[in-house]
């Protein structure tokens, strides 16, 4: 009998792969596709055995691991909704997620379960190992066998939810973005197409899987039968570089802070990576000076600068590597299957060079925010995603970000993008990173306050930054104050938390 392809995302991610090929490579061992499919089938069977129904929410709180991947795939396989969260989530946000999702089951890392026993009392738990003094928590190794794995692939539609990806909650409560099975596969196929991924690829994975960029690495590489090398030692960047060479990684992906650290605090300049075919950069703005340095350090590697949002599953646009030198400040063109526009306040398409909001449309645009109708109505309208990012388009159809709608300061009656000031400050080679916020000013309305992280010695850095800015910026945009930090505050996805800079 002819098999009919399922809309379940797990169908495309693990089923039908060569069982002997390596799917995940950790520091301890390799996990093959056959083992991953069996484990995900066992997870799906267990969820049904304990009484969960399709559409029920299932917590997933763990570091990158075989446990994480098998639990995630098994949840989707059973037709339930995975709710991935960082192990660093604060208690208030965790309480909120528990309440709003009404999750009755969770795959929880033992360390997190041990620290949150009281909050997790109403939740049935499977943990990666035994949890001391928590007899209700079952061990992952104790799950019953699933039998025929073909029998427990839930029959879902493309519109059925697969995951709630909670945004960082940089202001207010976190929002759970409703990602469907169809969203995942649409975005996955688009990314595979422009990256040219094959089963021979191996990516160094330092991004957490609970973050949509990290999840997209998992989706794309599993989908083509490739391998992911999991390593959480990025605080020791040279160990990551050693591991990349040792495992012959063909790819690396990171947010701006990863590349800033590699270029400033590692030995990457003295290394060669004969197998490194591509690098992916997204998750925020990497200053052009760093991109140019990266091109010099990795002259034979394709560098993909990309733009996306959790609300678009992961990815919206990319800069073709062969155009990067001339379009270094661009976020590129739409990925396959996505339409991008720049619209003014009346909803009219902006002309090249005009400023407006970036609006996205495509099968990867998600359904909105979980149980947050007002917020959904603002960002999701008529099947389109209003990103909240302000940008422009050039004559060739390349898009440029000016800044987030909320990341502007009003200085002397003019709205100025903080990002543009940050780029100017980062032209000073002594800095690892910089962030700009607005502070009240009696004359200008708002004045610039700059937070900088120096590359090395801090002696006299404030004066050097001020002198540099006076030579580069109009007088009203020269920082009123410069604050030197050891590091900028970031969330678990690596994004800068500017509200903490404004209100430390």
Q: For position 169, what pLDDT does the model report?
A: 44
Place of tokens 């090929």: 21
Is 290 found in the same domain as 275? yes
Question: Helix-strand-coil percent breakdown of the chain, rounded to 5?
Answer: 30, 25, 40
Place of tokens 């002997």: 20
Residue 251 lies in a domain: yes
Is 433 found in the same domain as 333? no
Is 131 found in the same domain as 105? yes
Is 354 found in the same domain as 425? no
Nearest 5°: the CA angle 244, 247, 249 is 55
Strands laid side by side in the 161-166 sheet:
137-139, 124-127, 105-108, 57-61, 81-85, 161-166, 176-180
CB of 313 closer than 8 Å to CB of 186: yes
Is 472 found in the same domain as 373? no
Residue 110 lies in a domain: yes
HEC string for 247-299: CCCCEEEECHHHHHHHHHHCCHHHCCCCCCCEEEECCCCCCHHHHHHHHHHCC
What is the token pair recorded at 61?
């709180």
In this structure, what CATH number is given to the domain that contains residue 116? 3.40.50.980
In this structure, what CATH number is given to the domain that contains residue 451? 3.30.300.30
Residue 395 lies in a domain: yes
CA distance 303 to 325: 10
Is 242 found in the same domain as 107? no
Residue 443 lies in a domain: yes
What is the token pair recorded at 317?
């646009």
Is 342 found in the same domain as 224? yes
Of 156, 171, 198, the last residue of a domain is 156
Q: For position 2, what pLDDT does the model report?
A: 33
CA distance 65 to 343: 42
Place of tokens 């543009």: 420
Of 404, 420, 445, the last residue of a domain is 404
Residue 1 lies in a domain: no
How close are the terminal C-alpha atoms of the chain, in Å? 64
**Residue ranges in 119-179 assigned as alpha helix (H):** none
Q: For position 147, what pLDDT does the model report?
A: 47
Is 245 found in the same domain as 332? yes
CA distance 292 to 55: 46
Is 128 found in the same domain as 273? no
Residue 166 lies in a domain: no
Nearest 10 degrees: CA dihedral of 176, 181, 186, 187? 40
Number of structural domains in the chain:
3
Range of the domain at 434: 408-502
CA distance 333 to 342: 12
Residue 378 lies in a domain: yes
pLDDT tens, the chain, 504 aa long: 233 457 999 999 998 899 999 999 999 999 999 999 999 999 999 999 999 999 999 999 999 999 999 999 999 999 999 999 999 998 989 999 999 999 999 999 999 998 898 899 889 999 998 777 776 678 898 885 544 444 678 999 999 999 999 986 444 688 999 999 999 999 999 999 999 999 999 999 999 999 999 999 999 999 999 999 999 999 999 999 999 999 999 999 999 889 989 998 999 999 999 999 999 999 888 888 899 999 999 999 999 999 999 999 999 999 999 999 999 999 999 999 999 999 998 889 999 999 999 999 999 999 999 999 999 999 999 999 999 898 999 999 999 988 776 677 767 666 677 878 888 888 887 888 899 988 887 667 778 899 999 887 777 888 889 998 888 888 888 898 899 998 888 876 667 888 788 776
Q: 3-class DSSP state for residue 422?
A: helix
* Cβ neighbour number for residue 409 with a 10 Å cutoff: 23
DSSP at 28? S
Is 354 found in the same domain as 212? yes
Residue 135 lies in a domain: yes
């Amino acid at each position: 009998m002819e098999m009919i392809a399922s809309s379940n995302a797990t169908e495309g991610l693990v089923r039908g792969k060569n069982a002997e090929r390596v799917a995940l490579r950790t520091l301890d061992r390799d996990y093959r596709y056959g083992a991953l499919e069996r484990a995900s089938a066992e997870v799906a069977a267990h969820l049904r055995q304990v009484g969960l129904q399709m559409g029920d929410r299932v917590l997933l709180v763990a570091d990158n691991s075989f446990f994480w991947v098998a639990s995630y795939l098994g949840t989707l396989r059973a037709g339930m909704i995975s709710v991935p969260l960082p192990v660093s989530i604060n208690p208030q946000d965790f309480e909120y997620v528990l309440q709003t999702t009404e999750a009755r089951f969770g795959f929880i890392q033992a360390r997190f379960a041990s620290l949150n026993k009281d909050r997790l009392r109403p939740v049935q738990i499977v943990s990666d190992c035994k949890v001391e003094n928590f007899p209700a928590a079952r061990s992952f190794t104790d799950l019953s066998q699933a039998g025929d794995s073909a029998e427990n692939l839930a029959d879902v539609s493309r519109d059925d939810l697969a995951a709630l990806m909670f945004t960082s909650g940089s202001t207010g409560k976190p929002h759970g973005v409703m990602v469907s099975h169809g969203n995942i596969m649409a975005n996955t196929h688009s990314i595979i197409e422009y990256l040219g991924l094959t089963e021979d690829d191996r990516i160094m994975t330092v991004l957490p899987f609970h973050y949509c960029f990290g999840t997209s690495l998992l989706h794309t590489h599993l989908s083509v039968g490739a391998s992911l090398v999991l390593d959480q030692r990025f605080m020791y960047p040279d160990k990551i570089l050693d591991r990349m060479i040792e495992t012959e990684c063909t790819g690396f992906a990171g947010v701006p802070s990863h590349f800033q650290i590699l270029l400033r605090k590692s030995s990457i300049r003295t290394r060669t990576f004969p197998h490194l075919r591509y690098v992916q950069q997204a998750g925020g703005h990497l200053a052009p000076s760093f991109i140019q340095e990266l091109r010099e350090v990795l002259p034979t590697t394709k560098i993909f600068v990309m733009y996306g949002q959790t609300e678009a599953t992961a990815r919206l646009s990319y800069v073709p590597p062969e155009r990067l030198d001339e379009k270094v400040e661009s976020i590129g063109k739409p990925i396959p299957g996505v339409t991008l526009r720049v619209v003014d306040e009346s909803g009219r398409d902006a002309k090249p060079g005009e400023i407006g909001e970036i609006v996205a449309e495509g099968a990867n645009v998600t359904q909105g925010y979980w149980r947050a109708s007002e917020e959904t109505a603002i960002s999701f309208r008529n099947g389109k995603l209003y990103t909240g990012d302000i940008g422009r388009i050039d004559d060739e159809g390349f898009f440029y970000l000016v800044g987030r709608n909320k990341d502007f300061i009003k200085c002397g009656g003019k709205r100025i993008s903080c990002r543009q000031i940050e780029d100017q400050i980062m032209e000073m080679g002594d800095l690892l990173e910089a962030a700009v916020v607005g502070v009240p000013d009696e004359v200008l309305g708002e004045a610039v306050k700059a937070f900088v992280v120096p590359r090395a010695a801090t002696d006299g850095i404030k004066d050097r930054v001020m002198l540099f800015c006076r030579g580069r910026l109009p007088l009203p945009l020269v920082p009123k104050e410069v604050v030197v930090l050891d590091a900028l505050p970031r969330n678990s996805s690596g994004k800068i938390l500017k509200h903490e800079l404004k209100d430390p």
